Amino acid sequence: MKPKIDKIEKPRKSGGIKWKIFRWLLIFAAVILVILWLCQVVFLDNIYKAVKIAEIKSAASDLAEYTDTAEELNARAEELCSSSDICVFVMKMLNNQTALGLASVDTQRDCTLHNTDQRSKFVLYDSAKKAGGSNLQRFYFDDKSDRFYSIEGSLYDKNPSGEADYSSESILYTVITEAGDGSETVIFIDAVISPVGATVRTLNFILIIISGILILLSAVVAFVISYRVSKPLEKMSYAANELAKGDYSVAFSGSGYRETEELASSLNYAASELSKVDSLRRELIANISHDLRTPLTMIEGYSEVMRDLPGENTPENVQIIIDETNRLSSLVNDVLDISRLEDGSYKPKNERFNLTEAVRTTLLRYNKLCERNGYRIEFAGDSDVFVNSDQTRIMQVIYNLINNAVTYTGEDKTVYVRQSVRNGAAVRIEVEDSGDGIAPDKLEFIWERYYKVDKEHKRAAIGTGLGLSIVKRTMEMLGGSCGVISAVGHGSIFWIELPTDDGDTGRNDL
Ligand code: ADP
């Protein structure tokens, strides 16, 4: 059972979509600023040094390829020094105390390499040797004592004054390469790097300005986006409230976004369906109450007459009461049938039965009517066809079609019922009348619930407008099909089709 909704519940208090989008866009801008600040300010020094060290190491391994001839080595060293802002010194070790200079390129002012004596190079060589062939050292020049100090203090002493006030830093990389004959070549590369403090201060300033602009911009963008996204939803929510209150004329608009447009068109469709259902419901109540009232009035009237006047207690009067009771029960049955078919609670049977026989049995119900009112129902179907389906439902479908044909047929009061087998695989039952037919623009609606082509017409008052919708839903449920061919002024042919049962496709003559 569906829950009954008495009133529109207010949603839980959870921030609106507008503010959520707004908040998330601002958070996004803040995250970008933090990343920018970390890269540009906090880690700038480390990133700069890491890049420089990688550059020095690559230059050293490049130079190691050229250690065979001094000219080539010098030429390559010149190239590298001018492109990468480094100083190079290369020497060949003759023994532990003497070495032969192979190349020397000096391009930077405060380079440790070219401002210290030869002895220092042997110290650097020793430390690289101890470290397994290469070594990286950082130095700074102290103006007061006019000498270089090691920043880590591992090679030279640290500044004894304890001060480390330097304007530039020198990174010195020493690498020892061994030739085939066992001799060693030592490559020194020095890069002087300026501290990034001043740059960081400038970047900080720029960053503050960028942050201000970015926050302002993202606030504006966030506001515009959130407003534009939430506006159609707010409008739709308002319209949905109106719809819930019973105003079916509301129109939902999606304001130019695909998703909201789709939602709006679904809601518009739902609104139009609801409106249809509502007007059908009103019509049905009016129809059913009218249809119920007429037989009930008749039953009441005849019963009272029969009670009060013993002479009126005739079989004819009793028959009228029985007929009216039958009308009442068929009306109630129709309403029950359609509701069971629509909510899916009806479970169809699947049994093999003789369809031709079922049609004939249905026609027997009309014998009385034909005798009394001069109707003629002709059946053409000389062989028995078997199908696998729900016999009761199929008989109900045929009954509904014949009922309509009898109701709407023309002056000749004739109805033709035909059975034919198509390609040995499907059987078709056609019910033809010679009535007024149905206008083409009405044809698509006759299968809808409670639809009547001509509501004012006397004949239409007989039906409930449910017969054909029961036919259509039943055939869909049973895997068959149905349709109509109608010509105004000439009559209509209503048909149904079902797959025949394998093996017995209808050639078993009686
Ligand atoms: P009803 O119970 O009113 O006959 P149906 O669903 O069976 O309801 O039919 C819907 C409408 O289709 C009818 O009101 C009628 O206007 C039209 N209709 C159905 N069968 C025929 C027919 N054989 N000839 C003309 N109109 C028909």
User: What's the average pLDDT block by block, 10 residues per block, for the chain (510 residues)?
Assistant: 48 66 84 85 83 90 84 88 88 83 83 80 87 86 74 58 65 87 87 76 84 86 82 87 88 82 90 85 74 82 91 89 85 80 83 94 86 91 91 92 92 95 91 94 88 61 76 94 95 96 48
CB distance 173 to 135 below 8 Å: yes
Cβ count within 10 A of residue 416: 18
User: Which helix (H) or strand (E) segment is 193 a member of?
Assistant: strand 184-193
Q: In b/e form, how buried is each residue of 12-23, taking b as 16+ CB within 10 angstroms?
A: eeeeeebeebbe
pLDDT of residue 1: 39
Locate the ligand 1 atom nearest the alpha carbon of residue 494 and give its number: 23
Residue nearest to ligand 1 atom 13, measured at CA: 452
pLDDT at 490: 94
CA of 288 to the centre of ligand 1 (A): 16
Top mutation candidate among 452, 459, 496 for ligand 1, by most atoms within 8 Å of CB: 452
The helix/strand count (H/E) of the chain reads as 13, 15
Q: Which pLDDT score is estimated for 161?
A: 55
467 lines ligand 1 (CB under 6 A): yes
Q: How far is the CA of 464 from the centre of ligand 1 (A)?
A: 9
Query: Is the distance from the beta carbon of residue 433 to the nearest atom of ligand 1 less than 6 Å?
Result: yes
The amino acid at 106 = D
Q: Which residue has the tokens 């060290």?
A: 53
At 507 the pLDDT is 41
Ligand 1 site, residue 405, Cβ cutoff 6 A = yes
Q: Radius of gyration of the chain from Cα atoms? A: 50
- Amino acid identity, position 468: L
Q: Is 506 in the pocket of ligand 1 (CB under 6 A)?
A: no
Closest C-alpha among 501, 506, 503 to residue 352: 501
Q: Is the CB of 409 under 6 A from ligand 1?
A: no
Quick check: 488 and 436 in contact, CB under 8 A?
yes
Measured from the CB, is residue 469 less than 6 Å from ligand 1?
A: yes
132: left (phi > 0), else alpha (psi -120 to 50), else beta?
A: left
Kindly state if the Cβ of 408 falls inside 6 Å of ligand 1.
yes
Q: What is the pLDDT of residue 21?
A: 79
Spell out where 79-195 has E strands.
87-93, 99-105, 134-142, 147-150, 169-178, 184-193
255 Ramachandran zone, left/alpha/beta (phi>0; psi -120 to 50): left
The 8-class DSSP code of residue 4 comes to: P
* CB of 451 closer than 6 angstroms to any ligand 1 atom: yes
- Please indicate whether residue 295, judged by its CB atom, sits closer than 6 Å to ligand 1: no
Closest CA to 88 of 76, 99, 104: 104
The pLDDT value recorded for residue 504 is 45
Q: Look at the block and give the residue holding tokens 């019910």.
A: 431
**Which residue puts its alpha carbon closest to atom 25 of ligand 1?**
437
Whole-number Å distance between alpha carbons of 462 and 291: 8
Q: Is 468 in the pocket of ligand 1 (CB under 6 A)?
A: yes
247 contact partners, CB below 8 Å, separation of at least 6: none
Q: What length is written for the chain?
A: 510
Count of Cβ atoms closer than 10 Å to residue 158 Cβ: 14
Q: How far is the CA of 301 from the centre of ligand 1 (A)?
A: 30
